[in-house]
Amino acid sequence: MAKKEKTEKIKTEKYRSEEQTEMIRFIRILIIVIVLIVGIYLFTRIFVTKDLLNNKEEEKEVIAGEINYNITMIGSLLGHPEEEYYVMIYDTENLRSIYYSGLMTTYARNEDALKVYFADLNKGFNEKFYNPEDVNLDITNISDLRVGDLTLIKVKNGGIAEVWDNEEEIANELAYTPSEDTEN
């Protein structure tokens, strides 16, 4: 009987084809890769962003996007829907920029105020139009326009009607004129 027990314990080796062996090896590698990806994902969520275990809704801040329709690019300053409007062009890093912004805001309080757009000389698309040594305001093509540190352009019916590049003239043009109803 001892011999019979020994023969039962002998395992028969499973015969697999080469394709089966490769398939098993592929499945093992695939499982290892999936485990690694899930592990990296969990590690990142737990230790780096620290948001997996911290599900407090009040801490999540959503910032709504904003579009400022008062800003324009110099290259497209003639393409706005109004028939008549102003475009104020200046450098926002200039110390006087707050004054220029105040001029536009004060002017907008007028009852008959035209729309005033703003173009920042610091923006990449506007830089090619800035040349304080060679100002060219008398143009037929917008690509020929060259402005200095401060320029106000009045656009009428898709064309440039008037141009000012003097701070005093611009202040006079954009002056606040109270209506007769507010004076009484």
Give the contacts of 79 (CB within 8 A, at least 6 positions apart): 158
* Alpha helices (H) in the chain, listed in sequence order: 2-9, 18-43, 97-108, 167-173, 180-183
pLDDT at 84: 92
pLDDT at 184: 46
Report the DSSP beta bridge partners of residue 163: 153
E strand segments, 136-178? 150-156, 159-164
pLDDT at 68: 74
pLDDT at 40: 93
- Token pair, residue 57, equals 């809704």
Q: What tens digit of pLDDT does each residue of 58-99 get?
A: 556 777 777 777 888 888 888 888 999 999 988 888 888 888
Percent of all residues in the chain with a pLDDT value above 70, rounded to a whole number: 85
Residue 12 has pLDDT above 80, yes or no: no
pTM over 0.75: no
Report d(CA 88, CA 120) in Å as an integer.
9
